[in-house]
Amino acid sequence: NIVMTQSPKSMSISVGDRVTMNCKASQNVYNNIAWYQQKPGQSPKLLIYYASNRYNGVPDRFTGSGYGTDFTLTINSVQAEDAAFYYCQRIYNSPFTFGSGTKLEIK
């Protein structure tokens, strides 16, 4: 089974900073990944699909990139409301494995 490894596990960033988090697949998944944001007590929210497509209504400070095995979610000019967990997921072919998540804290 393909394993999705996210790094770092957590980060603490100031408002206005740029943040980059990573997702590495153990095998080539082409562009078949999605990124989600989950805040405490809420369901995950889709941010990015097929590696780089921003979902409806997602602010353009969120950008996804990558192909094959290495993927990145970048948040430009982080806002206080971006404090959350972020998960990547393989979205083509079972199993639709999630990464273990990155916790983003705002200083």
Partner 1 sequence: QVQLKESGPGLVQPSQTLSLTCTVSGFSLTSNSVHWVRQPPGKGLEWVGAIWSGGSTDYNSALKSRLSISRDTSKSQVFLKMNSLQTEDTAIYFCTRFRDYWGQGVMVTVSS
Query: Which amino acid does the sequence have at 44?
Result: P
Q: How far is the CB of 14 from partner 1 (least distance, A)?
A: 25
Q: Which is nearer to partner 1, 78 or 88 (CB)?
A: 88
CA distances from 90 to 10, 17, 39, 71 (A): 21, 28, 20, 11
Site residues for partner 1 per CB under 8 A: 1, 34, 36, 38, 43-46, 49, 55, 85, 87, 89, 91, 94-101
Q: How far is the CB of 18 from partner 1 (least distance, A)?
A: 25
DSSP states of 49-60 as a string?
Answer: ETTTEEPTT--T
Q: Which is nearer to partner 1, 66 or 99 (CB)?
A: 99
Calpha distance 72→29 (Å, rounded): 14
Q: How far is the CB of 56 from partner 1 (least distance, A)?
A: 8
Q: Which is nearer to partner 1, 14 or 94 (CB)?
A: 94
Query: Which amino acid does the sequence have at 6?
Result: Q
Q: What 3-state class would DSSP assign to 82?
A: helix
